[in-house]
Structure 1
């Protein structure tokens, strides 16, 4: 360790004596905040002073609320993408999903080459990456199908119930703790789904406020619910993978497997159509770009902010879905939809707050 009477001189790393009093006169304003014995762990970031540099760069404080802002932007991008899917006419949900996966591949490929992540991943992680890509892409396809079959807000609400199922699946497969609160939140979520689906054996034969006939409505409900479970499985797999695999590689599997699956199913169903010129093609490209932007901002939010506040901010997806549905689709929400949305938002917010509280208490 160097004493305060020596400072580095130029690139050669030589030291020259300086007047101790002069040194204190120059450095006192920058160093008088606290002594070295009272430094915080946050300031030194756990790095030892090896003596090679006596002047260290201070850690730049992050902007308060930046993570929440990123989460809000992700919600905006995802909501607009769902709205554009709803506006598409004469195109199957699987084809829309295929085009989004194609654009996602184009955007993530240069990043993978730059970071040298490879295209297969570690041997022990490939099965998990495959399951992540397969289940994640299926969740996206089911969401788009639900959006085309039922009101936008209803599909978004049901799909947004995935955090509750994530907690249950983590208890089953990852042996995470499950409390009575998880059971309560699950009951609230299922109640919200029932209020939105409104099965005839509970609500009678005539239903108001649904889009199209009831068969399409129930198909959309089943698709959105299945997509929520698929998204929950994806979250459990991502927890299992942890930080052992680069994020771009996970997105790569998602895009490649989704594209392959969509193309195969489209040729089997013979539903492949060429989008018309003009608005439809621009809309499809916008869906792909917005989906990638939403994923990027959500990932960035989780990197700099705790999961609890981010999950709470994601409830804006539901709010934005109701607003966009009213403004651009001229559909007013029914009281049943609002009641179901309230149940689902309450349960997902409860899950987020409980995890946030537990993590804060453990750190303290």
Structure 2
């Protein structure tokens, strides 16, 4: 089966990525068979074999992906994920695992009709099921960890810690995908990590008085480990999605994410005994918004990874830090320090440089 066939019905103008450089079997076998049997070739019909005929016109060629389109999809997914983080932070008296379960249920109700409409099935290609299962387990674990971190730490601190994920993404992509890390990619990663350090202001570099942590040390430490765990699993998720590429429909990838995430959340909630319905109507609205924006973020992120390398996508997602601090100023009335501003500038420079470099490479 050709990669574009297994990816499901493509919408008009949707970029198509072939997973290999080889021509599809049918494209290479038809001309040979025509020559052997004396049948008219491509562009000719049986009534006029000596001249081209309009009755069998050349099929329209697929348009190449627009340079930077994958990074644009990633930027949109980052904005939606930032809104999701904001609403998770504002939810009261609901455990992080339960929030994850509500989000999975909401997304499942949306994904099922999409899968039925696109006729992709609910299982996927046999040779890709193991990667789909891994994507579900790793992705849902990352979601639970970051929600827990948001509830235990300030929104901006938790966000910036998770954006050490480009380092893990580059390592996993180098190990599993054999992707080369160019000097420019390394430079953008250095800029990104410098921005994270300036924003987090670790005590061993800036002193204990600069951390500004109000929570107890044990609670803050739990949130920090959860955020770092999310960074590791998020980096691995990006590599798995890149490995899947166009071999499966992106809605099918999200389906595995939500169904496995729901099962995982139910098991954890059963063990912890933390299940409880939200009492406040505003919290219920936040849960709906978390599901909606989370779904939008997943769709755009998956589509971005289908046409872009894992490393640049991970770097572009550091824009989430800028959105997080913007929400912190506007919603929580917490003005960042000049160190934070410097870190944000580094992160924006890193993301912008990656986009320009990708556009330049594609235009060659």
Distance 1:110 1:269, change over 3 A: same
Tell me how large the CA RMSD over aligned residues is: 3.6
Distance 1:211 1:116, change over 3 A: farther
Q: How many Å separate the matches in 1 of 2:176 and 2:308?
A: 26
| Unaligned 5+ runs, structure 2 | 1-41, 45-53
SS of structure 2 residue aligned to 1:271: coil
Deviation at 1:160?
3.5
Q: How many Å separate the matches in 2 of 1:228 and 1:311?
A: 10
Cα pair 2:278 2:284 within 8 Å, conserved? yes
Which residue in the other structure is 1:225 paired with?
A: 228
Q: How many Å separate the matches in 1 of 2:200 and 2:307?
A: 37
1:24-103 matched pairs, under 5 angstroms: 51-52=54-55, 73-103=76-106
Which residue in the other structure is 2:132 paired with?
A: 129
Q: Is 75-84 or 344-353 further displaced after alignment?
A: 344-353
Higher Cα Rg: structure 1 or 2?
1
Q: TM-score, normalised by structure 1?
A: 0.72
Q: How many Å separate the matches in 1 of 2:215 and 2:103?
A: 26
Q: How many Å separate the matches in 1 of 2:181 and 2:72?
A: 31
Q: Does 1:271 align with 2:266?
A: no
Cα deviation 1:252-281 (Å, max 9, x = unaligned): 110011111111111111221211141111
Q: Does 1:212 align with 2:215?
A: yes
| Unaligned 5+ runs, structure 1 | 1-47
Cα pair 2:106 2:292 within 8 Å, conserved? yes
Cα pair 1:85 1:144 within 8 Å, conserved? yes
Which residue in the other structure is 2:20 paired with?
A: none
Which residue in the other structure is 1:142 paired with?
A: 145
Cα deviation 1:57-112 (Å, max 9, x = unaligned): 9999x999998876554443322221111111222111111110111111101111
Q: TM-score, normalised by structure 2?
A: 0.72
Cα pair 1:156 1:321 within 8 Å, conserved? yes
1:165-204 matched pairs, under 5 angstroms: 165-204=168-207
Cα deviation 1:180-205 (Å, max 9, x = unaligned): 44444444444444444444444434
Q: Does 1:253 align with 2:256?
A: yes
Which residue in the other structure is 1:42 paired with?
A: none
Deviation at 1:247?
1.0
Q: How many Å separate the matches in 1 of 2:311 and 2:231?
A: 19
Cα pair 2:188 2:315 within 8 Å, conserved? no
